[in-house]
Structure 1
C-alpha cells in the first residue's frame, strides 16, 4: 500500500483583505525544486542568476543553502498554492557582511514572487508585509538587510515603499548592489502610510 506524502504545514500565516491568506513554510528541496525552476528560469527573474539553470542545478543550489546553517529558504503560498520564495540569512556569514559592519539583530532577506496566473491588486505588497511581519516576529531581529542589483529598479522601489532606506552601492562577488536597511520603526511607518497598489511582481 502506498503511503500518502506527509502534508507540509505552514508555520506562519498572514491574511490581507482583498488578497487572502499568505503562508510560509520551510522549503522542501526535493518536492519544491520543479516549482522553483519554473520561476527562476523566466526572464523576469534574471537578477536571481539562474535563468540558464537546469532542475538539477536549482536542486543543488537549494541543497547547499539548506546545509549552511545560516541561510534558510521558505516557500510562500497563497491560499495553499506556491506563490513566492523567501530566503533569510545571517549577514555576518554572507559576502554582504564583508562590505558593511553587521550589527547584532541584522537579518538578510531575498524574495522572488512567482509569475502571476492573474493579477491581484495589492498582492506583492501583501507578500512583502507577510515577509517583514514574519522576520520581525523574531524578537532578536532589529533590522532587515537587502542588497538588490543596482539595475533592478523594480525591487528597489518595492523595498523603499516597504520602509527600506538605501545606504550605499556595494560590490558583491556576483553583482553591484544597493545595500539597504529597514528597521522596525521604518517598517511600522511604511505600513501606516501604505497604499493598496503594490501589485507588481518582484
Structure 2
C-alpha cells in the first residue's frame, strides 16, 4: 500500500510536501533506517546498539507480521520519517490497554537532521501520519505510548489531539498511554481537512526511495 497524505495550504508548514507513506521494503530500506535508528537523536527508540544486520532482521520480522507494519515516509520525494503501526490488542499493550475495535497503535520517527532546520517539518509529518492512520488504515482511534520524559513528543501529540489516559510501565520505559479519535484529531491544530488524497501504486512495484520520535 502506498498512499499520499497531503496537507492543507493555510499555514507555511502545510505547504511542505507532498507527504507520502509506503510499506518498508527491508532489503531496500534497512541501511537508511539503521542510520536513523542508531543516531543519538533517536535514543528513545533504544536501538542505538543495533548493527545493520540487526536492523534488517528487525524490519524483516515486522514485514512478515500480521500485527505490525512499518511505513517509510517521504516529503517531496525524500525519505524523511518512519512510521510503525500495530494492533495494540496483540502487540506491546496486551494486558495494559483496554483496546477497542479500530484501535491502531503508532510510533513515529523523524529522520535526524543533516542540514538546516526545516520549519514545520514535524507538524507536517505528524499530520500526514494521522491522516494515514485514519484514512488508508481505517483507524477509529490512534494509540501511542511515548516515554514520559519525551516532552517534545508530548507537545506534538497534544497538537494532534491526543489525550493522556494514564501512565503505564512498558519494557524499558514509563509511558504516557494516550489516544486520539478521528473527531479529536479533526478538532486539533494539525487536523484541518486535507486536499484530496491520491493513491499510488503498490510499494512492491515502487522505485527505491532516496536515502523527533513518538517513543
TM normalised by structure 1 equals 0.87
1:103 to 100, 104, 108: 100
Q: Is 1:31 matched up with 2:32?
A: no
Where does residue 3 of structure 2 map in the other structure?
Answer: 11
Residue 189 of structure 2 aligns to a residue whose secondary structure is helix
Structure in which a larger fraction of residues adopt helix: 1
Give, in whole Å, the separation in 2 of the partners of 1:182 and 1:47: 21
Q: Is 1:71 matched up with 2:56?
A: no
The 3 A distance-change label for structure 1 pair 60 and 120 is same
Give, in whole Å, the separation in 2 of the partners of 1:148 and 1:106: 16
Residue 91 of structure 1 aligns to a residue whose secondary structure is coil
Where does residue 52 of structure 2 map in the other structure?
Answer: 55
Q: Is 1:132 matched up with 2:130?
A: yes
Residue 94 of structure 1 aligns to a residue whose secondary structure is coil
Range with bigger deviation, 71-80 or 135-144: 135-144
Residue 44 of structure 1 aligns to a residue whose secondary structure is helix
Where does residue 206 of structure 2 map in the other structure?
Answer: none
Stretches of structure 2 lacking an aligned partner (at least 5 in a row): 9-13, 193-211
8 Å contact 1:10–1:25 — kept in the other structure? yes
Range with bigger deviation, 97-106 or 13-22: 13-22
Where does residue 17 of structure 2 map in the other structure?
Answer: 20
Residue 97 of structure 1 aligns to a residue whose secondary structure is coil
Where does residue 4 of structure 1 map in the other structure?
Answer: none
Give, in angstroms, the shift of residue 140 of structure 1.
Answer: 4.2
Give, in whole Å, the separation in 2 of the partners of 1:154 and 1:118: 19
Give, in whole Å, the separation in 2 of the partners of 1:156 and 1:55: 30
Matched residues, number: 188
8 Å contact 2:127–2:190 — kept in the other structure? no
Residue 96 of structure 1 aligns to a residue whose secondary structure is coil
Stretches of structure 1 lacking an aligned partner (at least 5 in a row): 1-8, 195-200
Q: Which has the higher contact order (CA 8 A, sep 6+)?
A: 2
1:149 to 147, 150, 164: 147
Give, in angstroms, the shift of residue 11 of structure 1.
Answer: 2.8
Residue 178 of structure 2 aligns to a residue whose secondary structure is strand
Give, in angstroms, the shift of residue 20 of structure 1.
Answer: 2.3
Give, in angstroms, the shift of residue 95 of structure 1.
Answer: 2.3
Q: Deviations over 1:48-83 (max 9, x none)?
A: 111111001111111111122110000001111110
Q: How does 1:106-125 map to 2 (within 5 A)?
A: 106-116=103-113, 117-125=115-123
Residue 95 of structure 1 aligns to a residue whose secondary structure is coil
Give, in whole Å, the separation in 1 of the partners of 2:106 and 2:190: 22
- Give the aligned CA root-mean-square deviation in angstroms: 1.9
